[in-house]
Amino acid sequence: VTQSNKDTIRPGRVEEITSTANPRIKSIKALGLKKNRDRESVFVCEGLKLATDAIDAEWTIRTLLYSKTAAEDDRLRDRIERLSATVRARGGDILITNEKVLTSLTRRDNPQAVVAVLEQKTTPVSEIKPTGNDCWVALDRVRDPGNLGTIIRTSDALGAAGVILVGETTDPFALETVRATMGSLFHIKLARMSEADFIERASGWTGQGVQITGTHLKGAVDHRSLDFTTGPQVVLMGNEQQGLTDALAASCSNLALIAMDGAADSLNLAVATGIMLFEARRHNLTAPGAAP
């Protein structure tokens, strides 16, 4: 928020709503459907921690709902007050409500103190320029919301530069995905591109010294033998059912196999991504206070 914006932003409105039949509540509930989220370019996140992470990371909360009972709780009052003051000052509306309304929005057994409606945000493809020791994760047609959320969280934890969604994927802004990211959605770059676009950019990147490692059950290289200190990296992961398309596999500098030793045919996508990223980022990871 720039100073001139600050001067012109009108504080959001505050309203008390106690009924699940209220039209504003119904329209937030409708954001459970992707077409409604996309039409308004918004999504829902739940929980005081996630909403605070979002606002701290300069994401825009259009509407903040909180439970009046939770705001009267000594352990939560200050945090809820601070959050709602910031949201309001940045132009977002505040809806003071109850647990029944919040539960109806999140379909959870344990009610959340806070639910937020946020503006969607992705990184324009033109801004993806792997440099230095960047490591990007690219996902071919990821289908499972839990996998995507876990991959976003793991990518954040291991210091990846961002996550590129290639082709038709599950919605990163679905409630289940956002939940699984545990707030990492707000800390990492997320971009989308078509398969054709990825392949075209991949050829430019490899020409500039970026190593693109595809992971494949027919990979010719043991992932532990790859050198990830050569410069910028892209780690490309395949679809849960079909693996990488042939065209994407052909765009890679290497195809790596993660060695296995049991009866399982393959690893879960999120687990495989974690293993690859750990290897690719190993030389950048520090555990302060622990012996190496």
Q: Provide DSSP, 15-58.
A: EE---TTSHHHHHHHGGGSHHHHHHHTEEEEESHHHHHHHHHTT
Distance of alpha carbon 59 from alpha carbon 285, whole angstroms? 27
State the Cα torsion 193-170-228-231 to the nearest 10°. Answer: 30
215 binds ligand SAM (CB under 6 A): yes
219 binds ligand SAM (CB under 6 A): yes
| Spatial CA neighbour of 211 closest among 243, 168, 255 | 255
238 binds ligand SAM (CB under 6 A): yes
Angle between helix 77-89 and 48-56 (nearest 10): 40
Distance of alpha carbon 128 from alpha carbon 191, whole angstroms? 8
State the Cα torsion 238-243-248-249 to the nearest 10°. Answer: 110
Nearer to ligand SAM, 188 or 249 (CB): 249
Q: How near is the Cβ of 215 to ligand SAM at its closest, in Å?
A: 3
User: Which one of the spans 36-44, 79-87, 254-262, 283-291 is the region binding ligand SAM (CB under 6 A)?
Assistant: 254-262
Q: Which member of 54, 258, 277, 280 binds ligand SAM (CB under 6 A)?
A: 258
Q: Which member of 55, 234, 237, 252 binds ligand SAM (CB under 6 A)?
A: 237
User: Which one of the spans 21-29, 49-57, 173-181, 210-218 is the region binding ligand SAM (CB under 6 A)?
Assistant: 210-218
Nearer to ligand SAM, 21 or 220 (CB): 220
The SS3 assignment for 214 reads strand
The DSSP bridge pattern shows strands 162-166 and 135-140 to be: parallel
Distance of alpha carbon 25 from alpha carbon 97, whole angstroms? 10
Question: Mask 154-173, x = binds ligand SAM (CB under 6 A)?
Answer: --------------------
Q: How near is the Cβ of 46 to ligand SAM at its closest, in Å?
A: 29
Q: Provide DSSP, 102-155.
A: HHHHHT-SSPPSEEEEEE-----GGG----TT-EEEEEES---HHHHHHHHHHH
244 binds ligand SAM (CB under 6 A): yes
Secondary element (H or E) of residue 87: helix 77-89
User: Which one of the spans 78-86, 161-169, 224-232, 257-265 is the region binding ligand SAM (CB under 6 A)?
Assistant: 257-265
272 binds ligand SAM (CB under 6 A): yes
Q: Which member of 217, 231, 254, 278 binds ligand SAM (CB under 6 A)?
A: 217
Which amino acid type is present at position 109? D
Nearer to ligand SAM, 92 or 274 (CB): 274
36 binds ligand SAM (CB under 6 A): no
Q: What angle do CA 200, 204, 205 make, to 5 degrees?
A: 110
Question: Mask 79-98, x = binds ligand SAM (CB under 6 A)?
Answer: --------------------
Q: How near is the Cβ of 142 to ligand SAM at its closest, in Å?
A: 9
257 binds ligand SAM (CB under 6 A): yes
Instruction: Tell me how many residues contact ligand SAM (CB under 6 A).
Output: 16
Residues interacting with ligand SAM, by CB under 6 A?
215-217, 219, 237-238, 240, 243-244, 257-258, 260, 266-267, 269, 272
